[in-house]
Amino acid sequence: MATKTVKGHPLWLVLVVLLAMMPLAVAQNSQPQVVSDGLTSIGINDGISAELEVQLGAETTALLSWTCSACTLEVVSGPEGFSVESHGANVMSIETGQSGTVQMTADSEGTDVLELYVVTEVEDTLPTQRPAPEAATDVMSALLCETATDCIDDGQGHLFSVLSPGATPTVRGMASADTSRYVAFNITQGDTLEWQWMVTTHAVSVSFYHQTDSTETAMETVMTSPQSNAWPSATPAGQFWTAPEDGRFVARITTEAPTAAWTATVVHHQHVPVRSLMDANLSQGVDLIGHDSLTAPFDWSDVHELTLASVHAPATVSVDQLLSGSWVAGTPTNLLPGQTLKVYPYPDVSGGRIKVIESPVFMLQAHTRTFADLAGLEAPSYRPIDNATDNSSWPVINLTTPSTGELTLAVHDTTDTYRMVVDGWSESIHFVQFVLEGDVTGLELQLWDIDQNTGEVLATDITRPVGDQLKIGLQVGRGTHYLQVRFQDAAAATPHLWGEEADARTYTLRPSYSLIDEGEEPWFPPSDDAVFWGGVARWFMGLLFLLPVVYLVVHVKRSQAFAASVAEKKQRLAWYIQRLDSGETSAKETRIDMAKALHAVAQLEWSEGLEAWGPKRLEHRTDDVALAVWSVDERLASADGRWPLVVGVHVINGTWDLAALRFDAPEGQAFEVAHVEPRFCSKARKCSSTRWAPGTEPTSWWSWLGLRRASTSN
């Protein structure tokens, strides 16, 4: 039955559950938000109050500071005996006699965000007597900042340290008109102490004493907070003090109000004396942020101007220049926020250094700009006097595309001279023209046609503006010539001192070029590779041509040596027979040696040759020719049945172009000349043999020789 009732009324069950939940939601929304020390962001909706509460201790003071668009903060209740006092529109102090909870409400006419900063336990505990330099005292610990860029955000519009939203004061306390309070901080020479007021109920002043073990120095700066200071604020209220020596700072807190509650944050900035910019790209700009002083060396050329701008705070700066290994000190200049300083380099400068002097906090923006004319070179104010002058420092102007330049009046640059290189054949003629675009007032152009051999000026032309146009043209030969842009009156254009800021005169040179006469086509010398490989080829071919000569010399030397050995060994035919008989050599080997011997004996005198072969078988002599014949052992024949002979012919007188030997065989069977060594008939390239038979006419065989002029000796 009950089950049916539950199933029959589901809508009723849902309504019951919703009604039961509504009181719980209201209770949760009505719970106040507990606020602790630090910064808290609270959203406020239109028509809905935000309930807040703060826990306070007994006999203490709490400071509340807030910011919003349009809201109100009201204390509703607190522990017995508490009191609330407003200090301006955004600061409130609460004093309590006993511990308890303070409840507050925040309202707004629309949607808003309340930034509430709370500091509790503000008590009057600081000493009222300043310690002597040699006396011991308690010191506070300041927030440490090792690098200025870690603590400063220039995007905030100031150079004070940017504190985190949850930051708590370094020091807090009470001040009164009749008594000063003191707090000490250890410090190192060159380090800077930053005092930043956070929340104050009245105007409170702070000043510093610097103490060593034996001395005390009162620092000049006194810093006073606003009448009632709220935190956070767009521009913090703070000041900086730099330690002249190692020791401690003693802060003195005073007020003209009967009683004032205050809180402050103290930041210890370590001194960074040097920051190197040697590898920095100053053309893109560099920020220098720091405290008290800084030296920043940088690479500097004589065609770059340096611009320094101070941001958010004044700074005293100077720029030193390195010349010939010595530093030339710059003049200290005080730059106010937004001011800039331009520094121009001396000629041949090799480096620079930016020095910041006695500036409590600073931010400098440094960047360089080149005032070079072309190719990173500053065009000289004169042209070379002759061809022997090295002209590499004169920039080369392009004859096909426009070029830009600048007359930097700040450094009294009133003349720019450019090198113009015209390429062509020998005796060629060219026409070049330049149009100067920009402000042409007071300017003029000059062109020089230079003799490439002597360096003398062949022709020149000077033009001045006609209306608002300035152009010049001239016929020139091939080679190097010069163009100059200059002020007509250099003194009138530079009435200021060197280095003082002055507007530069920028211009554009637009060229035009035409070939008048092509000239004579030159013979171009070979390249180095062609010269090298040509030499290699000549040596290679020369060596190849020398090889036959070398071979011939060696062959002749060997033949002469062999001939000498043949001449020494008399009766060579008998020697051959002896060797054959003893078996020391074969017939073939002997025939080869005899062939060599025939060539060798031809180099000897006729009488020596006769003695070399031994006793003759036949000898015949006339007035013009001598003939000798030796019979040779048949074993030396090249084939069986042959009869080897050695025949010598010597021309005594005259010069014979041809010679012939005739062999007759009047008896016996037919025979033929089967072999001749050397081949007497080799010049005719053929040999003939004649057969004869008994009863026929005698037959002759002729062998033709090509002879040289023979010695007439016998």
Task: Give the domain CATH number at 91.
Answer: 2.60.120.380
By C-alpha distance, which of 143, 185, 174 is closest to 161?
A: 143
Instruction: Give mean pLDDT, residues 364-385.
Output: 92
Q: Residue 600 has what pLDDT? A: 75
Residues 112 and 131 in one domain: no
Higher pLDDT, 137 or 712: 137
Specify if 387 maps to a domain: no
How many domains are there within the chain? 5
Which among 214, 241, 269 is the end of a domain?
A: 269
Instruction: Write out the residue range of the structural domain in which residue 263 sits.
Output: 124-269
Q: Residue 625 has what pLDDT? A: 82
Please check the confidence at residue 397 and state whether its pLDDT lies above 50: yes
Q: Residue 701 has what pLDDT? A: 30
CB atoms within 10 A of CB 358: 10
Lowest mean pLDDT among 357-371, 376-390, 456-470, 612-626: 612-626
Residues 638 and 596 in one domain: yes
Residues 410 and 496 in one domain: yes
Distance of alpha carbon 618 from alpha carbon 625, whole angstroms: 14
Specify if 555 maps to a domain: no
Mapped to the 3 state alphabet, what secondary structure does 513-555 carry? EEEEECCECCCCCCCHHHHHHHHHHHHHHHHHHHHHHHHHHHH
Q: Residue 32 has what pLDDT? A: 87
Residues 576 and 692 in one domain: yes
- Beta strands 429-438 and 505-517, pairing class: antiparallel
Specify if 1 maps to a domain: no
Residues 603 and 698 in one domain: yes
Please check the confidence at residue 81 and state whether its pLDDT lies above 50: yes
Which among 246, 269, 292 is the end of a domain?
A: 269
Mapped to the 3 state alphabet, what secondary structure does 308-351 carry? EEECCCCEEEEEEEEECCEEECCCCEEECCCCEEEECCCCCCCE
Please check the confidence at residue 451 and state whether its pLDDT lies above 80: yes
Q: Is 317 within 8 Å of 354 (Cβ atoms)? A: yes
Q: Which residues pair with 470 in a beta bridge?
A: 436
Residues 129 and 261 in one domain: yes
What integer best gives the mean pLDDT of the chain?
84
Residues 259 and 294 in one domain: no
Q: Which tens digit of pLDDT belongs to each residue from 282-312? A: 999 999 999 999 999 999 999 999 999 999 9
Backbone angles phi, psi at 557, to 5 degrees: -60, -45
Residues 52 and 106 in one domain: yes
CA torsion 472-474-477-478 (nearest 10°) is: 20
Does the predicted TM-score (pTM) go above 0.75?
no
Higher pLDDT, 487 or 72: 487
Instruction: Give mean pLDDT, residues 387-396.
Output: 91
Specify if 392 maps to a domain: no
- Beta strands 60-67 and 457-463, pairing class: unpaired
Residues 217 and 130 in one domain: yes
Residues 135 and 201 in one domain: yes
Please, which pLDDT band fits residue 7 given cuts at 50, 70 and 90? very low
Residues 624 and 487 in one domain: no
Q: What percent of the chain has pLDDT over 90?
A: 53
Q: Which tens digit of pLDDT belongs to each residue from 260-280? A: 999 999 999 999 999 999 999
The pair of three-digit structure tokens given for residue 585, joined into one six-digit string: 């050599």
By C-alpha distance, which of 480, 306, 308 is closest to 386?
A: 480
Specify if 233 maps to a domain: yes
Q: Which residues pair with 190 in a beta bridge?
A: none
Which among 91, 120, 149 is the end of a domain?
A: 120
Q: Measure CA of the first residue to CA of the last residue in the chain; give whole Å.
A: 172
